[in-house]
């Protein structure tokens, strides 16, 4: 047997690559039983019993009137935008996953990128009104890393200007705002149940809303616009969730609390281990708004830490920790949005250089988290950053 030199120098528990967003999955036997049900029934898709069961369970969990399961989060966003009758321009942060913008633009809507509050990384309510034009129809807030947007202020701005308010809640499943689950705010909130999210259905998504008419429209549009068997009354698409995905969701929902408990435990280890490190700040999840602790995000002050975010990322990658630069470089600097500018997003561009996402979830043991923190500590850096030199000089 040959072991590469590089592999031998690794700490033993990090001999396989650790990804950000490795899936949390429930027990195989539970999924297998659900799958056998599907085979026996031969009902594979088109709002089968498992989709209906999962929708009902999610309505209870999210405390909303309607949940419409969809094929993925991106099509759920598109269906929501279309069902809400959006056109023209929609104000959205640039500091988000590209799908927030793509879903709008794929609907012929121009995403108008708004800067973020550098403390919350969420859309900055103070920056919104300057972007409103006669073509603006809506605001799409994103609860980045599951931390709620400033929902009340967004509501006020939307009301004042007659705009719709929607939320991309792809990160926020299992999170709360002022004691209530994320899911019932604005006109609707849209979830992703992609494999990398805290709760997954392999691929999947949902529109959650208390607006019956909107839910009905989403259902119509996700099934080609069919009303009854033979009659089509709208330009629909195929955005349905298959039964096998709902089976995965039903299994994973049973275990969601344990996934979040594991995440939270790992978060605690990260917090404790990284605290003494100057120039590294782990973003916090205040207890007032329960979080799913799915995202371990560090904000790196290059001068204080003595290495840049990208240097740390490269070092971690060499040691099998595949940390990710979520969400660099910002939607506005990528195709096709770059050419729709000019954009003025100084906070977004500054934050883009500093944040790094680290692995979390049931793939990890506490010892592995410890090991990742050891690597961060061992990352080659300048002995003294400029600020420390300054302090020593004093
Ligand atoms: C994952 C994600 C999406 C897209 O969801 P898919 O299910 O992958 O289509 C949209 N917005 C944000 C913020 C996401 O993180």
Answer whether 78 contacts ligand 1 (Cβ < 6 A). no
pLDDT of residue 69: 99
Pocket probe mutation, ligand 1, options 21, 69, 98, 100, max atoms within 8 Å of Cβ: 100
* Angle ∠(24,28,29) on CA atoms, nearest 5: 145
d(C-alpha 369, C-alpha 273), whole Å: 9
Answer whether 99 contacts ligand 1 (Cβ < 6 A). yes
How close is the Cα of 192 to the center of ligand 1, in Å? Answer: 5
pLDDT at 285 over 90: yes
pLDDT at 385 over 60: no
| β-bridge pairing 89-93 and 226-227 | unpaired
The atom of ligand 1 lying closest to the CA of 205 is 7
Pocket probe mutation, ligand 1, options 20, 75, 90, 168, max atoms within 8 Å of Cβ: 168
How close is the Cα of 205 to the center of ligand 1, in Å? Answer: 8
H helix or E strand, kind and range, residue 232: strand 231-232
- In this structure, the residue with its CA closest to atom 10 of ligand 1 is 99
d(C-alpha 329, C-alpha 298), whole Å: 16
Q: For the chain, what percent of residues have pLDDT higher than 70?
A: 94
When pLDDT is cut at 50, 70 and 90, the band that residue 160 belongs to is: very high
pLDDT at 283 over 90: yes
The string over 314-352, giving b where at least 16 C-beta atoms fall within 10 Å of a residue's C-beta and e elsewhere, is ebbeebbbbbbbbbbebbbbeeebeeeeebebebbbebb
- In this structure, the residue with its CA closest to atom 7 of ligand 1 is 73
Q: What is the pLDDT of residues 38-78, one digit of tens each?
A: 999 999 999 999 999 999 999 999 999 999 999 999 999 99
d(C-alpha 205, C-alpha 3), whole Å: 42
The two structure tokens encoding residue 374: 């050891």
Q: What is the pLDDT of residues 245-270, one digit of tens each?
A: 999 999 999 999 999 999 999 999 99
Answer whether 125 contacts ligand 1 (Cβ < 6 A). no
pLDDT of residue 355: 98
pLDDT of residue 339: 96
All structural domains of the chain, each given as residue ranges with its CATH number in brackets, are 18-23+256-323+359-378 (3.90.1150.10), 28-254 (3.40.640.10)
How close is the Cα of 307 to the center of ligand 1, in Å? Answer: 31
How close is the Cα of 20 to the center of ligand 1, in Å? Answer: 15
Answer whether 171 contacts ligand 1 (Cβ < 6 A). yes
The atom of ligand 1 lying closest to the CA of 203 is 7
Q: What is the pLDDT of residues 302-349, one digit of tens each?
A: 999 999 999 999 999 999 999 999 999 999 999 999 999 999 999 999
Answer whether 73 contacts ligand 1 (Cβ < 6 A). yes
pTM of the model: 0.95
pLDDT at 12 over 80: no
Helix (H, G, I), strand (E, B) or coil at 378: helix
Answer whether 94 contacts ligand 1 (Cβ < 6 A). no
How close is the Cα of 72 to the center of ligand 1, in Å? Answer: 8
Answer whether 192 contacts ligand 1 (Cβ < 6 A). yes
pLDDT of residue 14: 83
pLDDT of residue 13: 67
Query: Is residue 71 classed exposed, middle or buried when 0-12, 13-18 and 19+ CB atoms within 10 A define those classes?
Result: buried
* Mean pLDDT (whole number) for 24-44: 98
Answer whether 364 contacts ligand 1 (Cβ < 6 A). no
Sheet containing strand 164-168, strands side by side: 66-70, 205-209, 188-192, 164-168, 136-142, 89-93, 110-114
d(C-alpha 221, C-alpha 76), whole Å: 10
Answer whether 371 contacts ligand 1 (Cβ < 6 A). no
Answer whether 103 contacts ligand 1 (Cβ < 6 A). no
């Amino acid at each position: 047997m040959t072991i590469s030199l590089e592999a031998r120098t690794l700490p033993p528990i990090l001999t396989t690559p650790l990804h950000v967003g490795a899936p949390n999955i429930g027990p195989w036997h539970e999924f297998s039983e659900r799958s056998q049900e599907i085979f026996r029934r031969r009902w594979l898709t088109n709002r089968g019993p498992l989709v209906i069961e999962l929708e009902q369970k999610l309505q209870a969990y999210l405390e909303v009137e309607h949940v419409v399961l969809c094929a993925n989060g991106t099509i759920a966003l598109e269906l929501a935008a279309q069902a809400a009758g959006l056109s023209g321009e929609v104000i959205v942060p640039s500091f988000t996953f590209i799908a927030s913008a793509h879903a709008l633009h794929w609907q012929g809507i121009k995403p108008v990128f708004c800067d973020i509050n550098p403390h919350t990384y969420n859309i900055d309510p103070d920056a919104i009104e300057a972007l409103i034009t006669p073509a603006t129809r809506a605001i799409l807030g994103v609860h980045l890393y599951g931390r709620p947007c400033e929902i009340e202020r967004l509501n006020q701005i939307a009301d004042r200007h007659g705009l719709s308010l929607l939320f991309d809640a792809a990160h926020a499943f299992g999170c709360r705002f002022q004691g209530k689950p994320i899911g019932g705010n604005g006109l609707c909130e849209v979830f992703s149940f992609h494999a990398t999210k805290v709760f997954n259905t392999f691929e999947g998504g949902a529109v959650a809303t208390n607006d019956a008419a909107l839910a009905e429209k989403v259902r119509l549009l996700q099934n080609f616009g069919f009303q009854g068997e033979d009659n089509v009354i709208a330009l629909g698409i195929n955005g349905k969730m298959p039964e096998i995905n709902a089976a995965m969701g039903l299994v994973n929902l049973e275990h969601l609390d344990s996934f979040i408990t594991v995440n939270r435990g790992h978060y605690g280890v990260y917090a404790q281990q990284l605290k003494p490190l100057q120039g590294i700040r782990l973003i916090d999840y205040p207890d007032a708004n329960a979080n799913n602790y799915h995202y371990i995000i560090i904000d790196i002050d290059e001068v204080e830490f003595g290495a840049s975010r990208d240097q740390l990322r490269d070092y971690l990658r060499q040691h099998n920790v595949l940390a990710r630069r979520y969400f660099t470089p910002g939607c506005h600097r990528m195709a096709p949005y770059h050419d729709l500018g000019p954009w003025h997003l100084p906070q977004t561009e500054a934050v883009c250089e500093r944040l790094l996402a680290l692995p979390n979830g049931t793939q990890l043991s506490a010892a592995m988290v410890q090991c990742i923190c050891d690597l961060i500590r061992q990352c080659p850096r300048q002995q003294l950053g400029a600020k420390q030199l300054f302090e020593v000089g004093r």
